[in-house]
Amino acid sequence: MKNRLKVLRAERDWSQADLAAALEVSRQTVNAIETGRFDPSLPLAFRIARVFGCTIEAIFQEDPAPPS
Amino acid sequence: MTIRSGWAAAQARNTVYLALWTGAWLVTLAVASLGPALLWDGHGAITLVALGVNLAVGAGMVLANKRHLLGLDELHRAVQLEAMAWTLGIGLVGGPAWQALETAKLLPFDAEIGHLMMGMALTYLVALAVGLRRFA
């Protein structure tokens, strides 16, 4: 799953630690989500959307399905 | 943005409590194990009390561990789950196999519960390190 977390964070001049504190997760978790190595649960995705004041769809995009 | 994370403070507190309970459990285990020979000359009642204290402190450690796990964020909970799955699996499969080796007299020493605990502890540490490194 792709996401715009890094861009949204940069727009607000927040560090990963700032965002982690706002979301009540570790900085490592923010980094893993940002780099696409970990997909957040739906509740965490909602929290992320709330912190940035936008919808989940505006932050996360499904990876295109691999060609069959 | 400056947000003081109460979650991070609670996490740190849970980790310290778990370390303290684990340390206390190890001390009571050492006392209960070595005490009969070194401290109270095999007195049965004192041994029972020492074991009771060890079990009570062990229960505290289990609860502290549960609290620590429930306080983790979802990534760290996933890493812990995978590490515990490896630990349980290897303990379950490796324990009886180790025992079978002894039964077949293929071990030059006695198979003991300590070997299983050591194997499980090492498995857990390695699996935890690998999991954390994957998301670092």
- Count CA atoms closer than 13 A to B74's CA, side-chain side: 13
Q: Is residue B126 within a helix (H) or strand (E), and if so which, with residue range? A: helix B113-134
Q: How far apart are CA A5 and CA A63, in angstroms?
A: 15
**Any residues with CB less than 8 A from the CB of B134 and at least 6 apart, and which?**
A37, B79
Query: What ipTM goes with this model?
Result: 0.88
If pLDDT is split at 50, 70 and 90, which confidence band does B42 have? confident
Q: Tell me what pLDDT residue A65 has.
A: 74
Q: Hey, are the CB atoms on A32 and B8 less than 8 Å from each other?
A: no
Q: Hey, are the CB atoms on A29 and B74 less than 8 Å from each other?
A: yes
Q: Which of A9, A33, A38, A46 to mutate to test the interface with B (most CBs of B within 10 A)?
A: A38
Tell me the C-alpha to C-alpha distance, in Å, between residue B106 and each of B91, B96, B109, B113, B129: 20, 14, 9, 17, 32
> Which residues of B lie closer than 8 Å to A, measured between beta carbons?
1-8, 11, 73-76, 78, 132, 134-136
Q: What is the mean pLDDT of residues B5-18?
A: 91
pLDDT at B93 over 90: yes
Q: Which domains are present in chain A?
A: 2-57 (1.10.260.40)
